[in-house]
Amino acid sequence: MSLPNLTRRQQEIYEYLVENLDSFPHPPTLDELCEALGLSSRGSLHKQLQALIQEGLIEPMNNQRRGVRLAQLPGENSVADDNALPLYGRIAAGQPIEAIASHETISVPPSLRTDNPCYVLEVKGDSMIEEGILDGDWVVIEKRDTARNGEIVVALVDGEEATLKRIEQQQGKVTLHPANASMQPMIYLPEQVQIQGVLVGQMRSYH
């Protein structure tokens, strides 16, 4: 597709985005695109992307919408991604941090999800490394408010902090177990812990 208002370099970048954007597990950052395109200058890429934004070919980037996304062109039919799940933000595999909601989605193969409502969180921390869950992984969570003992859950602690841990529920207490020998289990009263989902899948990027 020839776009007369673009330079040859801008055309090459746009064609790369059209052909490869879906291969990224999330909207790529400038640094990720620089690496993928073999570019050394982040500033130069930013300038080229600004030209594509002005042409209406990619969406504007700001603090709320990080990453590069293609714009829907006039007359282009919108095709829903049947594999898209909401990307709700970050989840602590360490000390609890807040899971931050967003309007982003991420494509998840059917084999990594269930038929029930699911969502995706990005893992931050190393408390689940002995389960093979590493910092930067994406975990697929089935929405549930109950879990069996031994399942890995998203637990909301005291109504404000979310963490990813293996759960043990006993009379009068809930224990959230890390999978890291250097860390101690966290023990709470049952009323302090709200289950928000159970781990059903996991994804990792090697970009």
Of residues 170 and 22, which shows the higher confidence score?
170
Beta bridge partners of 188: 174
Give the per-residue pLDDT at 78.
42
| Mean pLDDT in residue range 65-75 | 66
Give the per-residue pLDDT at 128.
96
Whether the predicted pLDDT of 64 surpasses 60: no
Give the per-residue pLDDT at 79.
43
Q: CA end-to-end span of the chain, whole Å?
A: 28
Query: In the annotation, is 124 catalytic?
Result: no
Given pLDDT bands bounded at 50, 70 and 90, which one contains residue 103?
low
Whether the predicted pLDDT of 106 surpasses 50: yes
Given pLDDT bands bounded at 50, 70 and 90, which one contains residue 198?
very high
CATH of 84-203, one of 2.160.20.60, 3.30.70.3270, 3.40.50.300, 2.10.109.10: 2.10.109.10
CATH of 1-72, one of 3.20.20.10, 2.60.40.680, 1.10.10.10, 3.30.930.10: 1.10.10.10
Give the per-residue pLDDT at 207.
62
CA 204/CA 138 separation, integer angstroms: 6
**Residue ranges per structural domain of the chain:** 1-72, 84-203
Given pLDDT bands bounded at 50, 70 and 90, which one contains residue 66?
low
Whether the predicted pLDDT of 129 surpasses 90: yes
Q: Per the residue annotation, which of 2, 78, 107, 165 is the catalytic one?
A: 165
DSSP string, 68-128: --BPPPTTPPP---TTEEEEEEEEESSS-BPPPP-S-EEE--GGGS-SS-EEEEEEESSTT
Query: In the annotation, is 173 catalytic?
Result: no
Q: Per the residue annotation, which of 23, 107, 124, 127 is the catalytic one?
A: 127
| Mean pLDDT in residue range 166-184 | 96
